Structure 1
């Protein structure tokens, strides 16, 4: 099993209609999210962002702007890295070209989501964090992947109160 490099990138992609390109993760952790991944041997965070969009969605990044990020103590499916459990995240807004050719290994149900539908998925994650939805039910029909709730709130794509954000954060540990 690979060891975590404690660095991750996430890439928010929107279209001219303001919809978000999202998918359900086919691997741990469960949830609906944009493209993301470890920096590993990709070089820079920018290089990793471009590579992850290509690997997961088959799209070419034509523009990349850093929008947020910080250390987040979220688990991944790898062994804990030198800094323990967590990742130093860099989140980008990207423009892309091409038609999606999603990775069957990493993605399922790739789709463009309206802001209202994105908020509904966020509300589902909050309901899960509050114990109103069972784990199996969330995994079968996920809301937003918990670590993404912070990043999507940072870019004003979703609205979540601070108390609910703290509850959701506990799901990432």
Structure 2
């Protein structure tokens, strides 16, 4: 199994109606999220962001703006890297062009999500963190991928309390 490089990038894409381009992860971890992945051999975080959008959604990034990020102790499906379990995240908002051609290997249920529906998914993740949704229920009908709750809250795409974010954070470890 490949070692984690302890660096990750995520790319938030919105359309003119303010909807978010999201999908359900086809692989661990369960949840709905934007394009994301390890930086690995892509070079810079910007290069990795462009590559992940292309790999997962088939779209070409025409603009990237860094909006948030920091170290997070979130696990991934790789074995821990030199810095242990976790990732130094860089999150961008992007503009894109091209025809949406999602990767069947990495994505399921790719869709544009209105802000109110995104909040409903966030509420489902909070319910999951609080034990009101089982693992099986969350995998069958996921909310937001737990690591993404903080990033989406940081850019005011969702609204959750600090206590709820702490509860969700426990799911990422």
Give the TM-score range, shorter chain: over 0.9
The ranges of structure 1 where at least 4 consecutive aligned residues each deviate by more than 3 angstroms after the TM superposition are: none
CA drift of 1:99 comes to: 1.4
Q: Deviations over 1:71-92 (max 9, x none)?
A: 0000000000000000000000
Q: 2 CA distance for matches of 1:129 and 1:97?
A: 36
Query: What displacement does 1:102 show?
Result: 0.3
Q: Deviations over 1:82-127 (max 9, x none)?
A: 0000000000000000111000000000000000000000000000
User: What RMSD over aligned residues (CA atoms) do the two structures have, in Å?
Assistant: 0.3
Quote how far apart the aligned CAs of 1:35 are. Answer: 0.1
Could you tell me which residue of structure 2 aligns to residue 154 of structure 1? Answer: 154
The equivalent of 1:56 in structure 2 is: 56
1:30 aligns with 2:25: no
The count of corresponding residues between Structure 1 and Structure 2 is 173
Structural mapping, 1:35-114, within 5 Å = 35-114=35-114
Secondary structure of residue in 2 paired with 1:82: coil
Q: Which runs of 5+ in 2 are unaligned?
A: none
Query: 1:172 maps to which residue?
Result: 172
Matched, 1:117 2:121: no
Residue 130 of structure 1 is matched in structure 2 by 130
What is the rounded CA distance, in whole Å, between the counterparts of 1:129 and 1:56 in structure 2?
27
Using the size of structure 2 for normalisation, the TM-score is 1.00
